[in-house]
Amino acid sequence: MSSFRPLYAVTITDAIASGEIEQLKKLAAEAEAHIQQYGDVPTLLAALKIEIAKLEA
């Protein structure tokens, strides 16, 4: 059974609202692992959008 949780905003905001320190630490570790595996996705997405805009111009 996988313990993977998508790191959507609701997942993170719900964890923060819970106030449960162990849950917050676990989610922070999951987020760090995600960044290590996939890198800075928002920055890469921005680069993709720039290239798309250039090609569509």
- What tokens were used for 1? 């059974």
Residue 18 has a CB neighbour count (10 Å cut-off) of 12
User: In the chain, pLDDT over 90 holds for what percent of residues?
Assistant: 54
What pLDDT score does 24 carry? 94
What pLDDT score does 1 carry? 43
Q: How buried is residue 51: exposed, middle or buried, by Cβ count under 10 Å (0-12/13-18/19+)?
A: exposed
For the ranges 22-26, 41-45, 51-55, the lowest mean pLDDT is seen at: 41-45
- For the chain, the domains span 9-56
- Dump pLDDT digits (tens) for 30-47: 989 988 998 888 899 999
DSSP 8-state code for residue 5: -
What pLDDT score does 56 carry? 97
What pLDDT score does 21 carry? 96
